[in-house]
Amino acid sequence: MSQPILSVRNVRKRFCRNLKRSLWYGISDIAGDLIGRPQQDLTLRRDEFLAVDDVSFDVYPGESVALIGRNGAGKSTLLKMVNGLFLPDAGEIQVNGRLAALIELGAGFNPVLSGRENIYVNAAVLGMTRREVDRRLEAIVEFAELSSFIDMPLKNYSSGMRVRLGFAVASQLEPDILLIDEVLAVGDAAFRAKCYRRLSELMEKGTAFVLVSHSHHTLLTVCQKGVAMERGRMFASGPVRETLESYESRLNASGSETISLPAHRQAVDGMPCQILDVFFRDEKGRVVETPSTGNCASFCVLARSPEPMDDVSLDVVIRSPGHGVANVLSVTAGQDEQRRSIPEGTFEYRLALNPVCLPPGQYTAKISLNRKPLHTLAIAEAISFNVSTGHPFGDSLFFNARDWEVVAA
C-alpha cells in the first residue's frame, strides 16, 4: 500500500470556556515553552474541555474521507488542525503533499476593492503566488460568471456573487489534498452542480478529499471512507456507508425517548389556542414512542381551544439534521383542502402518514394551527422525535411503498 498523504495520530485539542482564564492559560503555556519547561500532560484545568480527543485516521492519494457527526462533535476543529490553523495539544499530524482548504469562502475579501483585486488578495490567503493567479485569472472570472462585474467594488456584489467569486478562486487550486467544510451548501442549485463538477475533475486528477457535510447523500456520493465523531471522540470508521449507519444508529439510541412537548418545544405564547402535547399513534390507535419507516402512523397534536372554530388547518414542517437545511416534509391540511372544525376544550388533530416514508433518524418538527385568513391560532417549534427502523428502503432518501409484478407482453 502507498504512503498516506495525510496521517492523523492520537490527536487531541483542548479549549477553555472562560475567555479570561483562556488568555491566562495561553500566557502560562507560552512562558513554559520559552523557559524549556516540560510539556504538561492533558489533565484538564478549570473550565477546559477536549474538543478533539484521541482521533486517528489515514488518507491515501485519490481517496475521499467523510467526517461525520453532529454540530460540536469536533469536525471543524480537526480540519483546522490539519490545515495548521491550530496546533494539537497532543498527537501528530503529517501531511505529505500540498494541502489546501475550502473552510471559509472569501477569506480576506475587502468590500472596498474590486472583484479583480479581491481575487489576488483571496488567492494570496489560500497560498497562491501572483504568477499563478495571473495565469489562472481568466479561468477564475469565467468560472464565477462575473466578467461584466469583475471591476466593480465588492461591496456592490450580492451574497451569491461573493460566494461564486470565493469558490472560483479556491477551485483553481490543484492540491494533493483538499479540506472541505460545509462550503458546498451555499449558492444556487446550478452553481452547486458546477462546483461538484470541478471537484470531480480534481478527484480524477488524484486529489484526496476530507469532507465535512451534514448531507448524507453528498457523503455517500463523494466519499469512500468515513470517520464518525461525537463530543470530540471517534467512535466509528471504515467504509462510508457502514460509518453512516453506525452514526444514525447512535442517534436513534441516544434520542429514543417518547417526545414530550414541554421538554422539547419552544412554544409561542399569547395565541388563541394552546398546544399541550405532540405524539404518535400506530395504525391501531395506540400511542407509540417512535414511528417506524414503512409502517402506518399518525402525527398527533393535542391542543385546547377556548371556543369551537371552523376551517382550521394543521401545518407540519419536518427537518432532518442529516439532510441539510431543506424541509424533509412540509404539509398542510389547508393546501390539501382538508381543513377541519375543532371543538371547544381539548381535542386531537391527527395527520395520518400511510405509511411513514421518513428513513430512520432524528428529526425536528415545527407545527402550527391556522385559520383563514392567515390567522395563526398556535405554534410550537423545535419538537424532536426519532424514526426507528421498519421496512428496508435501500439507498433511497425516503421509503416508498411498493409491489413487484411481471406481466407477459
Residue-by-residue pLDDT tens, the chain, 409 positions = 578 899 999 998 888 877 777 787 777 777 766 776 555 556 777 777 788 888 999 999 888 899 988 888 889 889 889 988 888 888 899 998 888 777 766 666 888 999 999 899 888 877 788 898 899 899 899 888 888 899 999 989 887 788 788 888 877 877 888 888 876 655 666 677 777 778 778 888 888 989 888 777 677 777 889 999 988 899 989 888 888 878 877 765 554 433 444 434 444 556 789 999 999 999 999 999 889 988 999 999 999 999 999 999 999 989 886 655 568 888 999 888 899 999 999 999 999 999 999 888 888 888 989 986 558 888 887 788 888 888 776 667 788 887 888 998 8
Q: Coil, strand, or helix at residue 188?
A: coil
Q: Place domain 6-253 in its CATH homologous superfamily.
A: P-loop containing nucleotide triphosphate hydrolases (3.40.50.300)
Cα(291)–Cα(287) distance, rounded to whole angstroms? 10
What distances in angstroms separate CA 123 from CA 86, 96, 105, 165, one per listed residue?
21, 22, 11, 11
State in words which class domain 261-387 has: mainly beta
Q: Is 22 exposed, middle or buried (0-12, 13-18, 19+ CB in 10 A)?
A: middle
Cα(266)–Cα(379) distance, rounded to whole angstroms? 9
CATH 2.70.50.60 domain locations along the chain: 261-387
My answer on whether omega of the bond before 111 falls inside 30° of 0, hence cis, is no
Cα(282)–Cα(124) distance, rounded to whole angstroms? 59
**Which three cell numbers mark 68?**
461525520
Amino acid at position 213, single letter: S
**Which three cell numbers mark 185?**
451548501
Cα(294)–Cα(374) distance, rounded to whole angstroms? 34
Supply the pTM of this predicted model.
0.58
Amino acid at position 355, single letter: P
Cα(174)–Cα(333) distance, rounded to whole angstroms? 51
CATH 3.40.50.300 domain locations along the chain: 6-253
